[in-house]
Each structure stands twice: as structure tokens, then as C-alpha cells.
Amino acid sequence: LGTNTSLEMRADAAEEDLSAVGALMPRLAQLRMNTSIVPTMRAFGSQFQSLRVLWIARAGVEDLSGVTSLVRLTELYASFNDIADVSPLAEMDFLEVLDLEGNRVEDEDAPDYLNVCPALRELSLEGNPIAKRVSYRREVCVAVKRLRTLDDSPVTDADRSVLELNNADAASADRFAEL
């Protein structure tokens, strides 16, 4: 087990200790736990030091607290869960791909938290309340400056420049209001 780098399993983190898996498989780099029961990322403990890719779709994840213990995580596929707060991801230095499709993210500050992830290039927030906002795409593309793909579509200069024009118009309006 100590040499395995990938694993697919189902588990109930309320009943089973996931950190034991990490201790038994110190080289584990990819873990598929789709349709498991993992309400909080704290269930992983600190034993998954080599984990780079985690699939945890439809697993009842509500709380991302503790995700920072997955220090080498580069890809997180956590679609169709109950995640509302993305702020715990702000400290994920190596996170490049984040799929949160079909969750409960609605905080208008969520893109700002995600911008703190210096490596984030691909993001999916489709199917979240935040994605229903009229200016959702441009707000996210401007806030998450290194983003290349949003909701499976490439980020274009136009996605970023539209808001910049609107910001310029807003600045002009603010100056006019001051007069």
C-alpha cells in the first residue's frame, strides 16, 4: 500500500477515520471519493501530504475547513455538494483547478477569496447562486486575475475589459457626483 499513488474508494467519514488511509498510503497523489459521505474536509486530517488531485463530488461536503492540510493539492473536484463558503481555499498555494459546480456559493466576495490562490487557472462555479448574477462572468474574471478558464469556457480579454470600462464609467460618475 505504501507505494500506491492512486485510489478510488467510498467512505463514510462520520463512521470511518480517513486519516488512516493517508497514513497507510503516504505516496497517494490521486484520490477518488465521489458519492462518499464527507461533510467536512477536516475528515482528511493531516496524513495526505502527497495528495495532488481529489475527486469528491456528490459527497455531502458542507465545510471546506481543514482543506489547507492537503498542502500539495493542485486539483479539487467537489461538484454537487453543499459548499457555501470558499474562504478556506484562500490559503491553497498550489491549487490550479477548482470545480465547485452545483454547490451553494453565493457570497459576492467569493472571487476575492479565490484570487488569493496564486496558481488558480481553471474554475467552475456554474450552478451556484453566485452564477445567477447578471455580471457574474466579468466579476469573476476580473477578480481572479490569473484565471484562464471559467465554467469550461476560456477567459477572454473582453471578459476582463468590459468591467474595466464599467469601472472607468463608474469612476467618471463618482467624479461627476463629487462636483
Q: Is the pLDDT reported for residue 165 higher than 50?
A: no
**How do residues 37-77 score in pLDDT, each as one tens digit?**
999 999 999 999 999 999 999 999 999 999 999 999 999 99
**pLDDT mean across residues, the chain:** 90
**How do residues 130-164 score in pLDDT, each as one tens digit?**
999 999 999 999 999 999 999 999 999 998 875 44
Cell of residue 146, nine digits: 490569473
CB 86, CB 114: distance < 8 Å: yes
pLDDT at 176: 47
CA distance 45 to 43: 6
CB 2, CB 27: distance < 8 Å: yes
At residue 5, φ and ψ (nearest 5 deg) are -110, -10
Q: Is the pLDDT reported for residue 123 higher than 60?
A: yes
CA distance 142 to 163: 7
Parallel/antiparallel/unpaired status of strands 153-154 and 30-32: unpaired
Stretch 9-29: mean pLDDT? 92
Q: Is the pLDDT reported for residue 166 higher than 60?
A: no
Q: Is the pLDDT reported for residue 100 higher than 80?
A: yes
CA dihedral over 56, 64, 72, 70, signed as positive or negative: negative
Query: Can you give the pTM of this predicted structure?
Result: 0.88
Left, alpha or beta for 167 (phi > 0: left; psi -120 to 50: alpha)?
Answer: alpha
pLDDT at 107: 95
